[in-house]
Structure 1
Amino acid sequence: MLNVENLNVFYGKVQAIHDVSFQVNKGEIVTIIGSNGAGKSTILKTIVGLVRSTSGRIIFDGEDITKKSSDALVRLGVRLVPEGRQIFPEHTVYENLLLGGYAERDKKLVYKRIQEMYELFPILSDRKHQSGGTLSGGEQQMLAIARALITTPKLLILDEPSLGLAPIIVQGIFDLLKKLCAEGITILLVEQMAAMALEISNRAYVLEIGKIIMEGTGKEIGSSEEILKAYLG
């Protein structure tokens, strides 16, 4: 479904990503792990058009999307849940969800999907008239994921969904990702809580200073002594 080929990204004269290649097959959960500053978020931002690569290609569903705009990618079925949630704190939960469907021309479908999100996240239904900024961290993360799901993405990309959340909330988020994948949504995940992420992943890649140094199944990466020492404590 997604093929990243020989990707190179610079910030000015500093190279952040070095000849990175990886793939995400339809129906998989794939995780990229690595230390802070390794370039994980840069890769995600490049995939969704927020950062431009210097060279390399990004292929989604057989189409070269390397130079496509972020809004065009939403219409193709690629959605990003960014680091830090980035909901609209002054808008209500309902308004945040409505904004998630901006690219969908069938407004009846958007309203239908909002109701489905209320069923998936009952707490959001209870909070529908509250401003996003009044929600707890876990509730804001649910809102960010629900907002991304309004347009029924083919590929859901999540950047550090566990950030700042209690372990019990994180487990709930990861259980949700497994459920979404079982329902047909392919997932690419960047995550600092590597052990939990690897448990739900079909495959994983390890990024170090902008380079992929290891790849394998979630189980293989999670049982590597080198990875255990470096990332899993």
Structure 2
Amino acid sequence: MLKVENLQVSYGKVQAIYDVSFQVHKGEIVTIIGSNGAGKSTILKTVVGLLRGTAGRIMLDGEEITKKSSAALVRSGVRLVPEGRQIFPGHTVYENLLLGGYVEGDKRLVNRRIQQMYEMFPILSDRKHQLGGTLSGGEQQMLAIARALITTPKLLILDEPSLGLAPIIVQDIFALLNRLCAEGITILLVEQMAAMALEISDRAYVLEIGKIVMEGSGKEISSSEEILRAYLG
């Protein structure tokens, strides 16, 4: 589904990503792990059109999307749940979900999807008239994911969904991602909590200082002694 080939990204004269290549096949959960500053978020922002690479190409379902705008990619079925959630704190839960369907012209379909999100996340139904900024961190993460699901993405991309959350909430989030994948949504995940992420991943890539240094199945990566020392303690 997604194919990234020889991607390079720079911030001014500083190169951040060096010839990175990876693939995400339909129906998979693929994780990119790496330490802070390795370039994980930079890769995701480039994939979704928020940054422009200096070299390489990005393909989605066989079509090159390297120079497409982020708005065009949303219409193509790509959704990003950004680091830090970035919900609209001054808007209600319902309004946040409504904004998630802005590219969908059928208002009845959007409202039907919102009701489905309330069924998937009952706490959001309870909080539907509450401002997003008053929710707990875990509730905000659920809202961010639900907002991305309003128009049923073909590729769901998540940047550090565990950030700032209690371990029990993280377990719930990863269980949800497993369920979404089983329902047909392909997932690309960037995550620092490597052990839990690898447990649900079909395949994984290890990023160090802007370069892919290892790839394999989630099980292979999690059993690597080098990875155990560096990321899993």
TM-score range, shorter chain: over 0.9
Q: For residue 178 of structure 2, what is the aligned residue in structure 1?
A: 178
1:75 match: 75
Aligned partner of 2:15 in structure 1 is 15
2:214 counterpart SS class? strand
* Aligned positions of 1:154-173 closer than 5 A: 154-173=154-173
Following TM superposition, by how much is the alpha carbon of 1:138 offset from its aligned partner in structure 2, in angstroms? 0.1
Are 1:192 and 2:156 counterparts? no
Aligned to 1:42: 42
Determine whether 1:3 maps to 2:35. Answer: no
Secondary structure of the structure 2 residue equivalent to 1:212: strand
Counterpart in 2 of 1:26?
A: 26
CA distance in 2, matches of 1:106, 1:62: 28
- State the alpha-carbon separation in 1 of the partners of residues 95 and 41 from structure 2: 27
Give the aligned partner of residue 61 of structure 1.
61
The secondary structure found in structure 1 opposite 2:56 is strand
Structure 2: distance between partners of 1:72 and 1:103? 10
* TM-score with structure 2 setting the length: 1.00
Q: Secondary structure at the match of 1:139?
A: helix
* Structure 1 residue aligned with 2:96: 96
Alignment correspondent of 1:214: 214
Q: 1:142 corresponds to which letter in structure 2?
A: M
Q: Once the two structures are superposed, what CA deviation does each residue of 1:138-191 show, in whole Å capped at 9, x if it has no partner?
A: 000000000000010000000000000000000000000000000000000000
The CA distance in 2 between the partners of 1:165 and 1:121, in whole Å, is 17
Count of paired positions: 233
The aligned counterpart of 1:128 is 128
Following TM superposition, by how much is the alpha carbon of 1:7 offset from its aligned partner in structure 2, in angstroms? 0.2
**Displacement of 1:227 after TM fit?**
0.3
Structure 1 residue runs of 5 or longer lacking an equivalent are none
Find the aligned partners of 2:172 and 2:217 in 1 and give their Cα distance.
22
Separation (CA, whole Å) in 2 of partners of 1:52 and 1:181: 28
Shift of 1:6: 0.4
Aligned-residue offset at 1:37: 0.2
SS in 2 for 1:37: coil
Following the alignment from structure 1 to structure 2, what is the Cα–Cα distance between the partners of residues 110 and 55?
38
Percent of matched pairs sharing the same residue: 86
* Aligned-pair CA distance for 1:107: 1.2
C-alpha deviations, 1:17-46, integer Å up to 9, x for none? 000000000000000000000000000000
For 1:107 and 1:179, how far apart are their aligned partners in 2? 26
Residue 106 (structure 1) shift: 1.2
Q: Residues of 2 paired with 1:106 and 1:12: CA distance?
A: 42
Tell me the alpha carbon deviations over residues 206-225 of structure 1, each in whole angstroms, 9 at most, x when there is no partner. Answer: 00000000000000000000
Per the alignment, in what secondary structure is the counterpart of residue 8 of structure 2?
A: strand
4+ runs deviating over 4 angstroms: none
Measure, in 2, the Cα distance between the counterparts of 1:2 and 1:221.
21
- Cα distance in structure 1, aligned partners of 2:77 and 2:130: 29
Any gaps of 5 or more consecutive residues in structure 2?
none
Name the CA distance, whole Å, in 1 between partners of 2:23 and 2:17: 16
- Deviation by residue 1:67-95 (Cα, 9 ceiling, x = unmatched): 00111101100000000000000000000
**Per-residue CA distance 1:89-126 (angstroms, 9 max, x = gap):** 00000000000001111111111100000000000000
> How many Å separate the matches in 2 of 1:31 and 1:139?
23
